[in-house]
Structure 1
Amino acid sequence: MNVTIVDIARKAGVSPSTVSRVLSGHPKISAATARKVKEIMEAMDYHPNVMAKSLVSKVTRTIGIVLPRPAEELFLNLFFSEVIRGVVTQATRSGYDLMLTTGSTEREEVDAVNRLVRGRRVDGLILLYSREGDPVIKLLKENNFPFVLIGRSEEHSDILTVDNNNVQAAYDVTRHFIAQGHTRIGFVSGPPDLTVSKDRLAGYRNALAEAGIAARPDWIVEGDFLQESGYRAMSFIMNVPDRPSAIVVMDDVVALGVLGGVTELGFKVPQDLALAGFNNIPMSELTSPPISSVDIGIYQLGYTASQTLLRAVKGEPVHQQRMLIPHRFIARESSIFKPPS
């Protein structure tokens, strides 16, 4: 038989309403009474009915994460598991559970988020991507629903965001190659509708322009965040006339594919192609050669997004609309090589 509030109240010698106040953290309940009731709850293995409680309080103590499409490919990239780890750590410490949602199409994605919002199944949402013209952001703003975007919005300056300075980060990587004498520098990008792809491409172009180096379209390849994308990019880039001697890659998982593709074609890194990526995943240090990478603080992105969302959900002040997580470039063997003059 399930233990009820009435059972707890009888055992503690208090009223059921007092037990309810203990569960809700009511300030008028003394510390001694709260401690006594909680000890009895634990001894009797009592678990409150969260659904029933949320109907009364209109608070679910659950936050949602909107995953980017396509979901079936999501966890092949360690960025997403690490950023979710950051979200989970902060949410759990604050007593919140997590719910994940996505869709295979834009319509499915909007419908899934709409169900969470209209049904009040979560108290707030974290979006793990930033996309141009995103209808999900429009939906959340129209409903005045708390959310935090991991990334930068080009259209909405009034929303809460947690991001890196991706323009500067890509600029730093490109300057690293230029400083070693490279003048033929390529770029393997991500999906073109993502803001992070645009920002990193802009940083790459800025560094080239500052150095008086032309950005050649045939040295820039668009793809996705999978290892296979980097592998495919190399079958094209390494066969263009006057091919690049160095390449900036949007993501370390893609860089692993680049490394595999270059090796299979009979070239060497960094002697024939210097290489650097983003995210500093653990695998980057274990490859041969180890891959240079920009550490963007993935865990901290998730942790800060979760922390910011919970403040917004509780009505606490959030002092910055846009929070920036610092980045640092870690040079390893894949990018440290001076080409012959």
Structure 2
Amino acid sequence: MSTIKDVAKLAGVAPSTVSRVIADSPKISRKTKERVREVMDELGYYPNVHARNLVNKATNVIGIIMPSASYAPFQNPFFPEVLRGITAQANEDKYGLYFSTGQTEEDILEEVKEMVHSRRVDGIILLYSTTNDPIIPFLLKEKCPFVVIGRPSEQYEHVVSYVNNDNVKAARTITEYVLLLRHERIGFIGGRKDAYVTLDHKEGFEQALQAAGIEINPTYIVYHDEIFDGGEQAVIELMAQKTPPTAVVVADDLMALGVLRMLTSMGYRVPEDISVVSFNNVLMSELSAPPLTTMDIYIYELGFQAASLVREQIASPLMEAQARIVGHKLVRRSSTSRRID
């Protein structure tokens, strides 16, 4: 097995120069870098990244914190897609990912503490944002670089970096679209109650109704987990009412698929009897029957930007907190139609 001294000898440079080439030091000329790298390839020499990281006190690993298993995150296509964006950025910068596997929120907090105290990771990305989350104050206290996908509470919005959509505006826009189709009895199926994305969706939904002069009916607002079964259970609650809604705004495409299946089993036609809109624009929304009208929130870009931002924080520990807002776009398909009385 070749050593750094072997590379230096064949390249005609000092071992310290080889080390600087491996670290991509700007003090080394491009010509020298090319020569040293050619020799490394010729000898099959690969630098000991682990040893170098020990010297640099870095791991080149980012911790990825998923919601607790009780919310079945891997059932929802949002998470594989956001991880695809994170992984793409990780591959560019050649760093690894370390995933949390907590079954409960208490387990997750303990795992995050272990990650930080044992210095297993250089930084952390939180894939969710909820009220009263103890992880954010812990990471701030430990001065560990981290980024939230979603938004922090108002208390932390100026000290925590995050990547998010304008979820209030997105929900208002999609509700306004349903209103333009002449629907007035509109249901809202939200995700978990303590998630900021749910709170923002509800705010945007209510803003649109209030602007249209429509009274908000609290019995038309229900909450369930963002999974297929959650959509089924939610639509049962709504359609069991004496005067059910003629349209529903659903927090998530996977939930919306559950809504569609349950409506079909009840004998309702979509969109003739009831219109359905949702959020995320994952692949299954286009393949559903009928294809879903949904709000594309560019999930891949959320992940890519979060990974880029946490790397910037790691490189510049004194960097001020940043907020990056990813756009959204309404994708009109066949699950909506104009209300005909």
Q: Counterpart amino acid of 2:209?
A: L
1:301 equivalenced with 2:302 (yes/no): yes
SS class of match (1:269): coil
Structure 1 residue aligned with 2:291: 290
**Which has the higher mean CA deviation after the structures are superposed, 87-96 or 243-252?**
87-96
* Distance across 1 between alignment mates of 2:222 and 2:338: 23
Q: 1:211-238 CA distances to partner (integer Å, 9 max, x unpaired)?
A: 2222222211211111111011122221
1:215 equivalenced with 2:216 (yes/no): yes
Mapping of residues 318-329 of structure 1, within 5 Å: 321-329=322-330
1:19 equivalenced with 2:18 (yes/no): yes
Q: 1:55-87 CA distances to partner (integer Å, 9 max, x unpaired)?
A: 101122222211111278222211111111111
- The answer (yes or no) to whether the contact 1:166–1:199 under 8 Å persists in 2 is yes
* Distance across 2 between alignment mates of 1:280 and 1:183: 24
* Distance across 1 between alignment mates of 2:231 and 2:162: 29
Structure 2 residue aligned with 1:246: 247
Q: Counterpart amino acid of 1:248?
A: V
- The answer (yes or no) to whether the contact 2:182–2:338 under 8 Å persists in 1 is no
* Distance across 2 between alignment mates of 1:112 and 1:319: 26
**Which has the higher mean CA deviation after the structures are superposed, 183-192 or 94-103?**
94-103
Structure 2 residue aligned with 1:255: 256
* Distance across 2 between alignment mates of 1:65 and 1:164: 20
* Distance across 1 between alignment mates of 2:36 and 2:288: 55
Mapping of residues 83-122 of structure 1, within 5 Å: 83-122=82-121
**Which has the higher mean CA deviation after the structures are superposed, 200-209 or 241-250?**
200-209
Q: Deviation at 1:167?
A: 0.8
Q: Counterpart amino acid of 2:179?
A: I
Structure 1 residue aligned with 2:232: 231
- The answer (yes or no) to whether the contact 1:290–1:333 under 8 Å persists in 2 is yes
1:44 equivalenced with 2:18 (yes/no): no
* Distance across 1 between alignment mates of 2:66 and 2:142: 20
Q: Counterpart amino acid of 1:274?
A: S
Aligned residues: 339
Q: Deviation at 1:96?
A: 2.0
SS class of match (2:72): helix
Mapping of residues 87-166 of structure 1, within 5 Å: 87-154=86-153, 155-157=155-157, 158-166=159-167
Structure 2 residue aligned with 1:172: 173
Mapping of residues 270-285 of structure 1, within 5 Å: 270-285=271-286
Q: 1:229-272 CA distances to partner (integer Å, 9 max, x unpaired)?
A: 10111222211110000000000011011000100111110111
Q: Deviation at 1:197?
A: 0.6
* Distance across 1 between alignment mates of 2:132 and 2:167: 19
SS class of match (2:175): helix
Q: Deviation at 1:18?
A: 2.3
* Distance across 2 between alignment mates of 1:318 and 1:209: 40
- The answer (yes or no) to whether the contact 1:189–1:222 under 8 Å persists in 2 is yes
- The answer (yes or no) to whether the contact 2:272–2:337 under 8 Å persists in 1 is no
Q: 1:141-168 CA distances to partner (integer Å, 9 max, x unpaired)?
A: 0011111111111131221111111111
- The answer (yes or no) to whether the contact 1:86–1:303 under 8 Å persists in 2 is yes
Q: Deviation at 1:336?
A: 2.0
Q: Deviation at 1:318?
A: 6.3
Q: Deviation at 1:15?
A: 3.1
Structure 1 residues 262 and 326, CA gap change in structure 2 (3 angstroms):
same
Structure 1 residues 204 and 60, CA gap change in structure 2 (3 angstroms):
same
* Distance across 2 between alignment mates of 1:196 and 1:252: 14
Q: Counterpart amino acid of 2:324?
A: M
Q: Deviation at 1:201?
A: 0.8
Structure 1 residue aligned with 2:8: 9
TM-score normalized with structure 2 length: 0.94
Q: Counterpart amino acid of 1:90?
A: Q
Structure 2 residue aligned with 1:76: 75
Mark the runs of 5 or more structure 1 residues left unpaired by the alignment.
none
Q: Counterpart amino acid of 1:225?
A: E
Q: Deviation at 1:39?
A: 1.6
**Which has the higher mean CA deviation after the structures are superposed, 294-303 or 207-216?**
207-216
Structure 2 residue aligned with 1:61: 60
Structure 1 residues 72 and 333, CA gap change in structure 2 (3 angstroms):
closer
**Which has the higher mean CA deviation after the structures are superposed, 272-281 or 4-13?**
4-13
**Which has the higher mean CA deviation after the structures are superposed, 50-59 or 255-264?**
50-59
- CA RMSD between the two structures: 1.8
